[in-house]
Amino acid sequence: MPKPGELIFAAPRGAAMPPRHLADLTPAERREAVAGLGEKPFRARQLSQHYFARLTDDPAQWTDIPAAARQRLADELLPSLMTEVRHLACDDGATRKTLWRLHDGTLVESVLMRYPDRVTMCISSQAGCGMNCPFCATGQAGLDRNLSTAEIVHQIVAGMRALRDGEIPGGPARLSNIVFMGMGEPLANYRRVLGAIRRLTDPAPDGLGLSQRGITVSTVGLVPAIRKLTDEGLKCRLAVSLHAPDDELRDTLVPVNTRWKVREVLDAAWDYAETSGRRVSVEYALIRDINDQAWRADLLGRLLKGRRAHVNLIPLNPTPGSRWTASRPQDERAFVAALEVHGVPVTVRDTRGQEIDGACGQLAATER
């Protein structure tokens, strides 16, 4: 049976999920799987050490495992799930978008961004997106299917390997932050996204040993799933893609608002903030003459005043065929000023990756 939060926005029927992978399994399930293959259960920890700690799935490098067992363990527990189709880079190589082909031919994208003081990866949780937001290229493409936990995790493993091996200009580096802001609505793939968070943050060798505080999970506002996430007791940051403070406009910009209104979404977000101790990030794409009016900035400020929140204003990134564009600079400045009057912390997001269609709302996963 589907889990709560997956009932309404599940992947299309018949969508083919990939074969079982080590990263799909808990440590206990890995031991069971290895024993089921006729191997000693401790081999599960050895496999985990190779994949999560050493970032390798090449059986030729597993010198602590008998040669006769390596290929079978690899075939059964570390199958190839996705292959790199191409990399596109900008910012002198500091921003790199990767196009992945999954086992069934589905295409998804992830983006790695290196800054002077940190490295962030933007990863996908679905192939496409079913939320249908009209200003987002991913949303306009529709939903192909959910990604598995292992497909989500492998984007990070590949990025960490590239950083370790010095593939990104600036020398070897460590990953600082992960944002579930690539393709898809993460909370519409709740169970697998939660599994991925566990794999990313479990101590090595059970997982990658990353900090929950370095992970941001975005949502357009699936209220039941936000409340379920609150009950998990995580320290990840929640990002709410609001884009309008009033229901009339948000019904159009974020169609799920016809189900869960602005106040319901924000109430759920405040509960998450209270439980997690983390500020909520309110994402707001500034669209010229659509949602950037002074009165909307004032309304947003009134909704957020005194709350544990931070506003990320995102100048709208261009997408093919869109009739909308980014706000005028003076309107952007006025919007910021109106929020500051209410004491609401606000920043304007860096539009990294725009030249390679790797910025917010631009991921479309095409081979063109």
Q: Give the burial string for 183-211 (b: 16+ CB within 10 Å, else e).
A: bbbbbbbbebbbbbbbbbbbeebbbbebe
- Which residues are known to be catalytic? 109, 360
In angstroms, the Cα distances linking 87 to 101, 168, 178, 249 are 12, 11, 19, 37
Pick the closest to residue 217 from 228, 205, 208, 207 (CA basis).
Answer: 228
Length of the chain in residues, anyone? Answer: 368
Q: Which are the contacts of 243, defined by CB distance < 8 A and separation ≥ 6? A: 133, 250, 253, 254, 283, 284, 285, 287, 291
Query: What burial class does residue 271 get, using C-beta atoms within 10 Å of its C-beta: 0-12 exposed, 13-18 middle, 19+ buried?
Result: middle
d(CA 193, CA 107): 18
170, two tokens: 């600036």
